[in-house]
Amino acid sequence: MQLRKQAPSAALLATFLALPQLTSAFYLPGVAPTSYKPNEKVPLYVNTIKPIASDSDALLHSTLSFDYYLPLFGFCEPPGGAQNVDESLGSILFGDRIKTSPFDLKMGQNETCKRLCDGPRQYSGKMAAFTNSKIQQGYSLNWLIDGLPAGQEVVDQMTNVQFYSPGFLMGGEKPEGQIAFNNHYNIYVEYHEVGGNKDQRRVVGARVHPESKKYDSEHPVEECQTEIPPVHLNDKDPNGHTDVEFTYSVFWIKSNTAWATRWDKYLHVYDPKIHWFSLVNSAVIVAFLVLMVMSVLIRALKKDFARYNRLDQIHLDDFSGNEIEDGVQEDSGWKLVHGDVFRTPAHPLLLSVLLGNGAQLFVMTGFTIAFALLGFLSPSNRGSLGTIMILLYTILGAVGGYVSSRIYKSLNGEKWKLNIVLTPLLVPGIVFATFFFLNLFLWAKQSSGAVPVGTMLVIICIWFIISVPLSFLGSWLGFRANQIEAPVRTNQIPRQIPPMTTTYLKPLPSTLLVGILPFGAIFVELYFIMNSIWFNRIYYMFGFLFLCYGLMIITCAAVTVLLVYMLLCSENYHWQWRAFLAAGMSAGYIFLNAIVLWITKLSMSSVAGTVLYLGYSLLISFLAFILTGSIGYFASWWFVRKIYSSIKID
Ligand SMILES: *[C@@H]1O[C@H](CO)[C@@H](O)[C@H](O)[C@H]1NC(C)=O
């Protein structure tokens, strides 16, 4: 299939794609450009040390990140100790730990072979073993120079495009098995003079080329720019130690890149053609599928309506006792279950709580993607994504409470107090408990990814002081509102459900079938999201994400409605949980996808890394389950109300 054939959808896609670019010159306050005079100090901050997979096919060996100044790494702190740099809540939650460093960068001042620490650092056997193992696992240093990540120049193998990938390796493994430790950094900083004004220089690019150099009497530090054999940390002898001298050189390069576009070099799309192609393909397939489902459904419904109305007619003539055979025809179809279709399902409390939280997540995701499309979440604004999501989720507690209580009331629920309390506590409680449990692992491993106790307390406070009361308020409003009346009356005695004869309508096969389609709609995008979460890549393709989210909602709704229609036709009126679970199954596939990635792309060297990866995947899948399940439920609910209010019931 060729891309050209799909020109109309491609044009639509291009519009969405262009949206973030149009607004990329727009920045929030706090990330305004800083101009430096010549010789003015430019800050170099250090972030956590975490593993990277340098190209798209490499294996990732760990998911744990560590503090830059963990004593086992032996990096030296600035005089007076390292200071924390203020960060946003989202940034802390997503694992940033930004600190000051001893590097001394002066705008426009080239310098070579500067010593980093006062005197050489001593690596004991234990430190050497730890550091070497991290080098083998592909750990990298993450620096920020004037807010820009110091990157490595990488060439995409497929497209031959050069770009900067954030982070650079801590060391390298030689083919002979020797592990070289990078102790010399060549720092290349690109700067731009605003309007040619020498006194207004802005940092527009940062690159580090690390090297390993064994300095001794033969090769003094001053010769750092020449070829020197690499330094190996001795981890064989526990009592031995290796002396390492850290050095760096700074080169300032004038550049024509404007400040507003300085991120472009970092925002590289791996295999853009594949991305485009698969997205357009899946969009076309999904659109085709939905149209097919809809047309089949509408035709079937039209026939049903015509038949039912004709039967009504016959009923009226029936008093004479004629045409009894035609009455037999009525013994099929969804009209028969009109007295049961709005019967309260099993566990109405749990269903309403899940649906309330699902609505909350749905609105939050929508707003987040909208903010992202408007360019509010530019990568220069670290952690803005996390912060906005937390804020939105907190405020939207009111939506969750309202939806949950209204549904519960319409399901004739009686334990309304329990409903009010469980709505803001159950799902967030499960999420927080998992989060806390995973953090225990991180604490035990001394990983910096562990969320500090203070931040945990802040989250709990936000939750209890803002989210829970808002949810109570929403619940109160929901219970006060009028009950949503069902369009048909429910009979006193439940109807018997005939045994299911069609295999694919049985609970398990139908759930598996329905779930796979919404998953198919987001599959491509999921790959990129996973990459940005685990492989340290910047995610910014919110245009694609927006489109995929829309596709997923449409697919989810369409296939669930079809399932519910078929269930009702087979006179099974237990549609509520079936709709929720079947649509939610797409999250099951998301988890399956994470497991496949784990088997093929990750080779974890520690139990903690594995637990962390699976734990977070499970958490994401759980939230996706509630989200897609609710989408499926609400679509079916709308559909069922629609069809039963369009027929006459005598
Ligand atoms: C600094 O080094 C860079 C790279 O070697 C060079 O292009 C630039 O001209 C140097 N600047 C000065 C002021 O020497």
List the residue whose alpha carbon is closest to atom 9 of ligand 1. Answer: 253
| pLDDT at 105 (0 to 100) | 93
List the residue whose alpha carbon is closest to atom 7 of ligand 1. Answer: 253
| pLDDT at 275 (0 to 100) | 67
List, in sequence order, every beta strand (DSSP E) within 223-277.
241-244, 247-254
pLDDT digits (tens, 9 = 90+) for 284-306: 878 888 888 888 888 888 888 88
Task: State the Cα–Cα distance between residues 311 and 316, nearest whole angstrom.
Answer: 9
| pLDDT at 21 (0 to 100) | 39
Q: What is the distance in A from the centroid of ligand 1 to the CA of 31?
A: 28
3-state SS assignment for residue 189:
strand
Q: What is the distance in A from the centroid of ligand 1 to the CA of 461?
A: 52
Burial track 471-503 (b if 16+ CB lie within 10 A, e otherwise): bbebbeebbeeeeeebbbeeeeeeeeeeeeeee
Which atom number of ligand 1 is nearest to the Cα of residue 110? Answer: 1
* Cβ–Cβ < 8 Å for 643, 602: no
Top pLDDT among 372 and 2 is at 372
CA 538-376-369 angle, 5° bins: 75
Q: What is the distance in A from the centroid of ligand 1 to the CA of 183?
A: 22
Residue 194 confidence (pLDDT) above 90: no
| pLDDT at 313 (0 to 100) | 62
In short, whether 191's Cβ falls inside 6 Å of ligand 1 is no
pLDDT digits (tens, 9 = 90+) for 393-448: 999 999 999 999 999 999 988 899 999 999 999 999 999 999 888 888 888 877 77
| pLDDT at 91 (0 to 100) | 78
* Cβ–Cβ < 8 Å for 355, 403: yes
* 613-621 contact pairs (CB < 8 A, 24+): 613/63, 613/534, 615/434, 615/437, 615/438, 616/438, 616/533, 617/591, 618/434, 618/591, 619/431, 619/434, 619/435, 620/590, 620/594, 621/587, 621/588, 621/590, 621/591, 621/594
3-state SS assignment for residue 36:
strand
- Would you place residue 186 in the very low, low, confident or very high pLDDT band (cuts 50, 70, 90)? very high
Which atom number of ligand 1 is nearest to the Cα of residue 188? Answer: 4
Q: What is the arithmetic mean of pLDDT over 192-211?
A: 89
Which atom number of ligand 1 is nearest to the Cα of residue 108? Answer: 13
Task: State the Cα–Cα distance between residues 418 and 423, nearest whole angstrom.
Answer: 8
In short, whether 251's Cβ falls inside 6 Å of ligand 1 is yes
Task: State the Cα–Cα distance between residues 521 and 499, nearest whole angstrom.
Answer: 33
Task: State the Cα–Cα distance between residues 513 and 511, nearest whole angstrom.
Answer: 5
- Would you place residue 4 in the very low, low, confident or very high pLDDT band (cuts 50, 70, 90)? very low
| pLDDT at 528 (0 to 100) | 77
Select from 51, 75, 208, 67 the least CA-distant residue to 134.
51
**What's the full length of the chain, in residues?**
650
* Cβ–Cβ < 8 Å for 404, 478: yes
* Cβ–Cβ < 8 Å for 289, 517: yes
Task: State the Cα–Cα distance between residues 105 and 43, nearest whole angstrom.
Answer: 7
In short, whether 209's Cβ falls inside 6 Å of ligand 1 is no
CB-count exposure of residue 558 (10 Å: 0-12, 13-18, 19+): buried
pLDDT digits (tens, 9 = 90+) for 149-163: 898 887 777 777 778
Instruction: Report the percentage of the chain scoring pLDDT > 90.
Output: 34
Which amino acid appears at position 85 of this protein? V
Residue 24 confidence (pLDDT) above 50: no
Most trustworthy range by pLDDT among 245-259, 516-530, 535-549:
245-259
Q: What is the distance in A from the centroid of ligand 1 to the CA of 109?
A: 8
Task: State the Cα–Cα distance between residues 354 and 403, nearest whole angstrom.
Answer: 10
List the residue whose alpha carbon is closest to atom 6 of ligand 1. Answer: 253
Q: What is the DSSP letter of 486?
A: -
User: Phi first, then psi: what are they for 413, rounded to 5°?
Assistant: -70, 150
| pLDDT at 449 (0 to 100) | 75
CB-count exposure of residue 40 (10 Å: 0-12, 13-18, 19+): middle
Using CA atoms, how far residue 240 sits from 207, 217, 649, in Å, is 34, 20, 90
Which atom number of ligand 1 is nearest to the Cα of residue 109? Answer: 13
Structural tokens at position 563: 């399932």
- Would you place residue 253 in the very low, low, confident or very high pLDDT band (cuts 50, 70, 90)? very high
- Would you place residue 25 in the very low, low, confident or very high pLDDT band (cuts 50, 70, 90)? very low
| pLDDT at 486 (0 to 100) | 87
Which amino acid appears at position 533 of this protein? I
In short, whether 58's Cβ falls inside 6 Å of ligand 1 is no
Q: Which helix (H) or strand (E) holds 648?
A: none
Q: What is the distance in A from the centroid of ligand 1 to the CA of 252?
A: 6
List the residue whose alpha carbon is closest to atom 14 of ligand 1. Answer: 110
In short, whether 252's Cβ falls inside 6 Å of ligand 1 is yes
Q: What is the arithmetic mean of pLDDT over 513-538?
A: 79
In short, whether 481's Cβ falls inside 6 Å of ligand 1 is no
List the residue whose alpha carbon is closest to atom 4 of ligand 1. Answer: 251
Residue 242 confidence (pLDDT) above 60: yes
Mutate to test the pocket of ligand 1, among 253, 254, 256 (most ligand atoms within 8 A of CB): 253
In short, whether 110's Cβ falls inside 6 Å of ligand 1 is yes
Structural tokens at position 276: 């485009």
Residue 188 confidence (pLDDT) above 90: yes
Q: What is the distance in A from the centroid of ligand 1 to the CA of 112?
A: 11
Instruction: Give one word for 39, left, alpha or beta, with left for phi > 0 and alpha for psi -120 to 50.
Output: left
In short, whether 253's Cβ falls inside 6 Å of ligand 1 is yes
Q: What is the arithmetic mean of pLDDT over 37-55?
A: 85
Task: State the Cα–Cα distance between residues 141 and 384, nearest whole angstrom.
Answer: 22
- Would you place residue 14 in the very low, low, confident or very high pLDDT band (cuts 50, 70, 90)? very low
Select from 402, 401, 377 the least CA-distant residue to 387.
377
* Cβ–Cβ < 8 Å for 400, 471: yes
Q: Which residues pair with 105 in a beta bridge?
A: 42
Residue 378 confidence (pLDDT) above 50: yes
3-state SS assignment for residue 315:
helix
List, in sequence order, every beta strand (DSSP E) within 265-417.
none
The 3-class secondary structure across 112-125, one letter per residue, is EEEECCCCCEEEEH
